[in-house]
Structure 1
Amino acid sequence: MLGIPTHLAPRVNAWSTVRAFHAAAIGSLVAAAVLLLLYRLDAPNDHVLGAVLAVVPMLVMIAVHTHVGTWRSGVAFLVVGGICAWWFATVVQRELADVPWVTSYLLSLVVVPLVLVGGSGSGTVRVALWSASGFVVGRVVTAVAAVQSGGPDHPLVLAWVTLGFVIALVVAVSRSTPRSERVQPELLRSAREEHVTAYRAGIEAEAAAILHDTVLNHLNAIALAPAGPMDEHLARTMESDVAMLTGRAWLAGDPVVPDGADPADTASGAVAAFERMLDEQRATGLQVTVTGDPSSVGRLDPHAMTALVRAVGQCLANVTKHAGTDTAEVSVFDDGVACTVMVVDDGRGFDEQATGADRMGLRNSVRERIGRVGGDVQVWSSPGSGTSVMMSVPYTAAIGPAPVVHLAGDDDVERAS
């Protein structure tokens, strides 16, 4: 019951128990019908199909009571079930008189549903009374059938056992409810703390990735730039990134929307953001060739689209910084299930296993970022053979971030959970 509010836990427990009772009742009736059909195959001269037909109305009434779930439908089931149990018992007593142990077992199977379905409800006394009423109805109608057919009155051991089990179960549940109510707040608190911890970890990971993608990349670009005034495009990019870092849009996981794009038109905004990212990389001197269908990026969830655009941008930044080449190819594929983007270069390549733990570009800014939106990343590279990075994000598996919260204290963070 972890994560269910305390005031709802008893109701959920009762609902689960009722559904279990109904399933057991259906299983009991199906077992009785199957046994009779098997017996009919073995003894074709015994007319037991009438007993099989008697099971059908009981199954229908269980379905009705499961759907309606009122005391009136419960009473209707006991009435119809009692008539069907008498019908069933009459046929079985007449046709199977020579095998009393089989008769006793079959009669118990048709009485058990009266005990179980009658016992649905809440409250120990109420459940016990419903179950006892169902048992009495079943016991009376089978006794009447025995008198009418002139056969013995069978003890219905299985029905007695079922009645005892139901009463014992509801008594045990009623005694454990106070303890569950005391423990439930602790379980909820633990679940909330675990959620907050995971939320904080996600924020920290995304913050580290964004800092790497912006500040570190800009410092590297400044270091590689020739002496003299800063490139205007680089200056504008830095100003835009500083505005983004000092705001809260990145914390909320808001999608990247270029200036002038319509925020309501997510598809065109996604394509524009993708193209803007490519233009920024081209402005650094990298020659980027695009193939495939870039519009498929617009069919992603906005948060997944933002993650994918940023990850592709980091892959291209890695080409500029590490590959030793000024050309790269970006291919976009749409297979109807996921959007896949592959970044390929013919540079010097590298051994990912030999990459230092402090190198965050591929690990945090690509792999973990795509993983947080339900995607997958594969890398093929070796020294001297270039690098290929394939990022695949499902259209329906994107995991949106938690809402924006103030990180001034624990109370603010907990409200986000």
Structure 2
Amino acid sequence: MSFGLPNHLVRTVHSRALANASQWGGIACLAAALATVLLTAANGMASQGGAGVWPTVIALVPMIGMLAVLRRVRTVIMTIAYLVVGTFGTFLYALTLLTQTPSYRETSLFVFALPVIAMLAIGGAGSGALVGVLWSTLGYALAEVAVLIAAHLADRAFLPDVTSLLAYLVLVSVMILDAYVSVGRHTPQTLIHRAVRDVHASSVRHELAVEFAAELHDAVLSELVTVAASVPGELSPRLRTLIERDLVELGRDAATLSERHGTVDDPDASAWHESGLVKAIEQSRDDGLVIAVSGDRELVATLSPAQDRALGLAVRQCLVNVLRHAGTAEADVAISASDDELSVMVIDAGRGFVPAETAADRMGLRTSVHERIEHVGGTVTIWSSREVGTTVMLTLPIPVPVAAPTQSDGPAA
């Protein structure tokens, strides 16, 4: 098991490798079929001296082109288009060979298996094992039906070829094995991820406990010493006021205590509490989400008003997605910065998803997050995997302060 490559990236790499291998195999089969037909025509085995072979060439060339395009554009529409073109091409290919080549009297020959293998190779382009098996099965079935119809029209015997059947079983077995290995690798990485989160949560709780203990020590100990040393009887008004004020202070929520990084007069602290990011966090907490905030909160003060608003709305949408889709009520918001960039990460350990499978009509991530952040010059990066969780990193450029104009050193008027 590799710790260097995240689980969802490993699955993507395996999926692409399997797709490339199967599609290159399909292209090779189609090229071999084309070469076989041309060689047959050149040797004079076609009944019309080679002229009758051209429908076969017309059937194979579009299939090769569509499969080559599908290697770069792996979408459902392109997959369906290839299946349609491939079914018609396989039918025309088989019908031409059966009618123009007298020596081909049944369909179990290897030459008829080549386009069928190219059709079932479409399964390697699936985004998962089940999807890949379904595509392969559909491609194999359509190709066999096309050959069956061609054999019936040409009055030839239809016999399923063993070669394409073995190719189908091998490809399906590889996809199922890859899914099984992915599940075995998924469990330990999930445990590692959750262990890291538990360590982080424990560290945050420890910091809160230390801060609260320090607050308790500083605010109450002196009053307790004063009470112990005072004369028995009613407390003085001054001491009563101090104790009441400290009780109110200690009754505040621990989250509010942990977010206090300065006095009210501190402009950075004021900017943090008035930022769009804080509003997004507080609104999500009101919705029932438990949010742990870490990092340098004062860095939010470096953003422009437009960036602050865009960041707040984007983070709000990310937290809404956690509540609606992640299946968890906890999230982390981490703030960090370099010399010229501010990054905010929204992290959850929910059910996760595969970004490439996000439906086109899902407006949340595309409009409320990606477009909003990109509009103010930022970028959005998403890491997610099923049953592991999701991390969304929003990165914004820190505006360069404009230097105030200086007066000329020339003589005064």
On whether the aligned pair clears a TM of 0.5, the verdict is: no
TM-score by length of structure 1 reads 0.42
TM-score by length of structure 2 reads 0.42
